Structure 1
Amino acid sequence: MEDLSKEVECHTESDTCRKSHHPERVKKDLTTRLNRIEGQIRGIKGMIERDVYCDDVITQLSATQSALNSVAKILLEGHVKGCVVDRLSNGDNEVIDELIVTIQKLMKK
């Protein structure tokens, strides 16, 4: 998998308005992945409607979850290498607590 996270920039305009700015190639890759996942979800829905064997549906669900995890990994890597590093270098140590919460959310799955 190509490393798509090195160019992510994080801009904090205020405490309530934080944004990441991904390069266009990263946005394009993430959008392509999410479109593929969306298609997988539609396919799973169709499998349910057609009463496809449960094990086959579960296999497709597993593949879809794996694809979502890949998107999350790309975003998390970009967040750590971009936003977290930037905020730490600006003396904002609260970002560590935020990062821990984010990782805990990902690990619930």
Structure 2
Amino acid sequence: MGTRLAVETVNKADRKNDIQNRLKRIEGQIKGLQRMIDEGKGCSDILIQVSAVKAAVNRVGILIFEEHSRGCLMDALGREDDGALDTLIDLMNRFLGSNISTGKIERD
């Protein structure tokens, strides 16, 4: 069990570093966008870069959501928490900007 915890800790640290590095690249992209605007670059070039920033931010959001999901579900399994999945679905809907109702489906 101790080896598993050590591996999970290393993996979590690696994932955190990956997210931090991605955020730094996004910061650089934003500064590049500011320069492009200051220099009067064409709208099409700027919009392409805006699209790239949006994609990068979405990817970071997905990575963070995946990390949260792993922890949330593992914790819920340990506690046998039926509401954890509803909470996770609600978070996913908010992340995606969705207004979808998550009515529970009754199971037999």
After TM superposition, is the score higher than 0.5?
yes
Provide the aligned length of Structure 1 versus Structure 2.
Answer: 91
What is the identity, as a one-letter code, of the residue corresponding to 1:98? Answer: T
Are 1:89 and 2:90 matched, yes or no? no
TM-score by length of 2: 0.70
Write the deviation string for residues 70-96 of structure 1: whole angstroms up to 9, x where unpaired: 111111112222222312431333333
Q: Which amino acid aligns with 2:31?
A: R
2:21 equivalent to 1:32: yes
- 1:63 corresponds to 2:64: no
Q: Which runs of 5+ in 2 are unaligned?
A: 1-6, 99-108
The equivalent residue for 2:8 is 7
Identity %: 35
**Consecutive aligned runs of 4 or more in structure 1 exceeding 6 Å deviation:** none
Give 3-state SS (helix, strand or coil) of 2:8's partner: coil
In 2, Cα distance between equivalents of 1:82 and 1:53: 44
CA offset at residue 38 of structure 1? Answer: 0.5
1:75 and 2:64 aligned? yes
Q: Which has the larger radius of gyration?
A: 2
In structure 2, C-alpha distance between the alignment counterparts of 1:103 and 1:67, rounded to whole Å = 18
More strand by share: 1
Q: Which amino acid is 1:92 matched to?
A: D
Q: Which amino acid aligns with 1:53?
A: G
The TM-score with structure 1 as length reference comes to: 0.69
CA contact (8 A) 1:7 1:82 kept: no
**How many angstroms apart in 1 are the aligned matches of 2:31 and 2:18?**
20
Unaligned runs of 5+ in 1: 1-5, 9-21
1:48 corresponds to which of 29, 37, 59: 37
